[in-house]
Amino acid sequence: MQFQRTNIPDVVIIEPKVYGDSRGYFVETFRADKLEEFLGYKIDFCQDNESKSSKGVLRGLHYQVPPFAQTKLVRVIQGRVLDVAVDIRKKSPTFGQYVAVELSSENKRQLLVPRGFAHGFVVLEDNTVFAYKVDNYYSPECDRGIAFDDDSLNIDWILNKEELNLSLKDTKQPKLNETKDLFEFGVNYYV
């Protein structure tokens, strides 16, 4: 299992080792000890989630505020997505910047999206199955979002806007500069 920091060092790409032969393949998708050794702190995942979507579905940008802030470890079981993590930690040197990584059933990559980041993805193939671990339970009261098409973020979602399929909730999210519930850079949200 290889870990690679991105241009926003707290967001990490994980590339598991795939063992394949004529029968198929085997892959370890999660090792708490290896992740903890790389990060220098422990994450206790408590819930797994899965969604299936058609091409063009865009989910995000979502996050939860304390006390239910979440770290996500995301991957694709079938199909392909462009996965995006946006730094929403006020006073962070990378505030408002994002990481975009293609995750697919072919490349087996995963993305660790820590607390203090908004997360979203756009589906690039029909019948895509997306799975993720979280380290805190879903809380409707703490659920927040940011507009996927906020010009200040300038995210390239690869697909044209006309090809996108969003929930009503995701079409009504505020822009980053209109968002009051942000995180503070330097605060340890894992305590």
Choice among 63, 98, 119, 132 that is catalytic: 132
Decide: 156 and 180 in contact? Cβ < 8 Å.
no
The verdict on whether 132 is a catalytic residue reads yes
Burial of 178 (0-12, 13-18, 19+ CB in 10 A): exposed
Decide: 53 and 124 in contact? Cβ < 8 Å.
no
Q: How far apart are CA 37 and CA 21, in angstroms?
A: 30
Choice among 62, 63, 98, 119 that is catalytic: 62
The verdict on whether 62 is a catalytic residue reads yes
Looking only at the bridges linking them, the beta strands covering 183-184 and 89-90 are: parallel
Q: Among candidates 50, 53, 172, 27, which has minimal Cα distance to 106?
A: 27
Q: How far apart are CA 49 and CA 136, in angstroms?
A: 12
Q: How far apart are CA 106 and CA 77, in angstroms?
A: 9
Q: Among candidates 141, 138, 139, 150, which has minimal Cα distance to 179?
A: 150
DSSP state at residue 21: E
Residue 37: in which H helix or E strand, if any?
Answer: helix 32-39
Active-site residue set: 62, 132
